[in-house]
Amino acid sequence: MALNFIWLAMIVLGVCYAGFTGQIDLISPAAFAAAEQSVGILLEMAGILGLWLGLLNLAEKSGFVDMLAKVLYPIAAFLFPDIPRKDPAMGAIVMNMSANLLGLGNAATPFGIKAMEEMARLNGHSPVASNSMITFLVLNTSSVTLIPATVIGLRTKAGALNAVDIVLPTFLATVIGCTAGLLAERILRKWFS
Amino acid sequence: MAALYGISQWMIPLILVVIPLWAWFKQVSVYDCFVEGAAEGVKTAIRIFPYILGMLVAIGIFRGSGALAALTDLVSPVLGKIGFPAEVLPLAVIRPLSGSGALGVTAELINAYGPDSFIGHLASVMQGSTDTTFYILAVYFGAVGIKKYRHALWVGLTADCVGFLTAIFICHLFFPLS
């Protein structure tokens, strides 16, 4: 299990490296600072998840998601052939895709987790990831976006001549990265059953 | 293009007003419905918390010990040969691991080399074109109790690597003399 291995490797390598370089005193503060920081993230996450999932509920109950789903359905149906059109999973996926496209990172995560929950239900709550889940993950880790808002903000603050000149290059890089990921998923799925 | 940034600033306020208003016209009891959804969000946050904690502590140790910087120094001569500037390498290493860490490195690079330098442009494109793969993996799969990730990690890292290499290539095309 790759993530178990990477998790362990980061800790072991970190502690050993600090030990060999005579800086073992760096480890405990780093570990506890990270643990503390995670509580801050929990509080922030709870607020942001609450806000966006509250809005998602409004968007679902009022039929807003259905309208959006109609527009994005051709792409979603191509990427997720296993998911029925009217399923709540499709609604959450479509909302997540829209949030990513618009560069709303903190909205994309709540919709993404919601989509995962719906896909887990379709998958009979199996502990094994489905192909749709992995496809969905690629869309999110490569974050196809039209407006990289955070970076534009950083560049503006730093006094860039043209803060948005990176929009098209970013879009191209993200689309090509995402396509590569989707192709890799199609190829590798046979080997990992 | 400047309009694009204007749009992005208007986006969230618009969403905040359009969705509830639309729901109101559709006879939804807006406040009750919002609270119902929000309750689910808070529960989800608590459920994913242990995964965030576990990831952050491991990454914190790896970074705080200096091992991450050592790894970066080790691989930069190799990557320098494919036109990958050594200055940007820490960003490529940290981008899949830590979102806040990557943002910090990007801000540092932009401030140190200038937003209109080649490095400033490349860091911006790299930051914007990929996401925190490990974190997303741990949180999304953690939230629904997935234990067997299958090929998810490899696929995610493939997308990251191709995205980074494309970013370098595209920046050489778009910003050759900067």
Q: pLDDT tens digits for A125-139?
A: 999 999 999 999 999
Kindly determine whether residue A172 and residue B106, on different chains, have CB atoms separated by under 8 Å. Answer: no
Kindly determine whether residue A59 and residue B19, on different chains, have CB atoms separated by under 8 Å. Answer: yes
Distance from C-alpha of B32 to C-alpha of B19, rounded to nearest angstrom: 14
- pLDDT tens readout for residues A171-189: 999 999 999 999 999 999 9
Closest CA in chain B for residue A103: B8
Q: Is the pLDDT of residue A149 over 80?
A: no
Sign of CA dihedral A71, A74, A79, A84: positive
- Identify the band that residue B135 occupies on the pLDDT scale cut at 50, 70 and 90: confident
φ, ψ for residue B148 (rounded to 5)? -105, 110
- Give the gap in angstroms from C-alpha B154 to the nearest C-alpha of chain A: 8
- The closest alpha carbon to A177, from A140, A152, A126, A146, belongs to A140
Angle ∠(B40,A110,B13) on CA atoms, nearest 5: 105
- Which sequence spans correspond to the domains of chain B? 45-174
- The closest alpha carbon to A193, from A123, A131, A132, A125, belongs to A131
List alpha helices for B65-151, DSSP H. Answer: 67-80, 89-94, 99-113, 118-129, 133-143
Q: Is the pLDDT of residue B177 over 60?
A: yes
Distance from C-alpha of A152 to C-alpha of A158, rounded to nearest angstrom: 10
Distance from C-alpha of B129 to C-alpha of A138, rounded to nearest angstrom: 13
- Is there a domain that residue A10 lies in? no
Residue by residue, DSSP assigns B100-123 as: HHHHHHHHHHHHHH-TTSHHHHHH
- Is there a domain that residue A15 lies in? no
Kindly determine whether residue B156 and residue A137, on different chains, have CB atoms separated by under 8 Å. Answer: yes
Distance from C-alpha of B42 to C-alpha of B48, rounded to nearest angstrom: 10
Q: Is the pLDDT of residue B16 over 60?
A: yes
- Which of A17, A48, A137 lies at the smallest CB-CB distance from B65? A17
pLDDT at position A33 is 93
Distance from C-alpha of A153 to C-alpha of B51, rounded to nearest angstrom: 29
Distance from C-alpha of B126 to C-alpha of B73, rounded to nearest angstrom: 19
Kindly determine whether residue A34 and residue B56, on different chains, have CB atoms separated by under 8 Å. Answer: yes
Q: Which of A66-75, B126-135, B163-172 has the highest mean pLDDT?
A: B163-172
Q: Specify the higher pLDDT residue, A30 or A106.
A: A30
pLDDT at position A25 is 94
Q: Which residues contact A174 (CB under 8 A, 6 or more apart)?
A: A142, A143, A144, A145, B128, B129, B130, B163
Q: Which residues contact A98 (CB under 8 A, 6 or more apart)?
A: A68, A72
Q: Is the pLDDT of residue B31 over 70?
A: yes
ipTM (interface predicted TM): 0.81
Q: Could you tell me if A146 and B125 are in contact, meaning their C-beta atoms sit under 8 angstroms apart? A: no
What percentage of residues in chain A have a pLDDT greater than 70?
A: 98
Q: Could you tell me if B163 and A142 are in contact, meaning their C-beta atoms sit under 8 angstroms apart? A: yes
Taking each helix axis from N to C end, the angle separating A27-61 and A88-101, rounded to the nearest 10 degrees, works out to 120
- Which of A10, A61, A113 lies at the smallest CB-CB distance from B62? A10
- Identify the band that residue B84 occupies on the pLDDT scale cut at 50, 70 and 90: confident
Q: Could you tell me if A125 and A118 are in contact, meaning their C-beta atoms sit under 8 angstroms apart? A: no
- Identify the band that residue A60 occupies on the pLDDT scale cut at 50, 70 and 90: confident
- Residue B95 is classified by DSSP as T
Kindly determine whether residue A192 and residue B62, on different chains, have CB atoms separated by under 8 Å. Answer: no
* Average pLDDT, rounded, for chain A: 88
Distance from C-alpha of B71 to C-alpha of B66, rounded to nearest angstrom: 9
Instruction: Please count the structural domains in chain A.
Output: 1
Q: Which amino acid is at B134?
A: F
- Which of B60, B139, B143 lies at the smallest CB-CB distance from A31? B60
Distance from C-alpha of B56 to C-alpha of A14, rounded to nearest angstrom: 13
- Identify the band that residue A100 occupies on the pLDDT scale cut at 50, 70 and 90: confident
